[in-house]
Amino acid sequence: MLWESLYTMQGRLDEYIENQHKLYKGEKVQEKILALLVELGELANETRCFKFWSTKGPSDKAVILEEFVDGVHFLLSIGLDLDLRFVSQSHNKGDFEQTESFLKVYEAVERFRLQQDAPSYNQMFSAYLNLGLSLGITEDELRQAYENKNRINFERQDQGY
């Protein structure tokens, strides 16, 4: 996937939010890391993959996809704040089941929180994409859902979200 176009879109959104809220680029990295973890938990709730005690199935794929791209927004935004870019060549497709994939993302985010450098950023991003693969999310679905949610996020800013 060509990530630069998504970084460009995210950069415009970030700049808009920073201007709206009188923030400086890179000022809220810790908050964005926490937001990524919160979004990851919301995504896990929608998949219900860990709810072994329940017979209710996962949410519709559209709901799961929207939650997934919320995390992508924060991954891109963190990268922009710290001048880091995901290098797709470093993405190694794993063959993990969903629960293991979620745990690997949590682990990678915590590693990145402690060592905010390019290798840990790429590992975190790659783990997140592996999670998407375990959820059956295609590259085209990711791109389309990201573009749609990006537009919604601009609208939300205009509405005082």
Q: HSE-up of 114 (CA within 13 Å, CB side)?
A: 5
In angstroms, rounded to a whole number, what is the distance separating the alpha carbons of residues 76 and 85?
8
Contact yes or no for 65/137 (Cβ under 8 A) = yes
Contact yes or no for 35/74 (Cβ under 8 A) = yes
Phi/psi of residue 106, nearest 5 degrees:
-55, -45
Give the residue-averaged pLDDT of 144-156: 83
pLDDT attached to residue 91: 47
Homologous superfamily of domain range 4-158: Type II deoxyuridine triphosphatase (1.10.4010.10)
Report domain extents, the chain: 4-158
pLDDT digits over 17-69, tens only?
898 888 888 899 999 999 999 999 999 999 999 999 999 999 999 999 999 99
pLDDT attached to residue 94: 57
In angstroms, rounded to a whole number, what is the distance separating the alpha carbons of residues 35 and 81?
14
Predicted confidence band at 104 (pLDDT cuts at 50, 70, 90)?
very high
Contact yes or no for 49/98 (Cβ under 8 A) = yes
The answer to whether residue 93 scores a pLDDT higher than 60 is no
Give the residue-averaged pLDDT of 157-161: 69
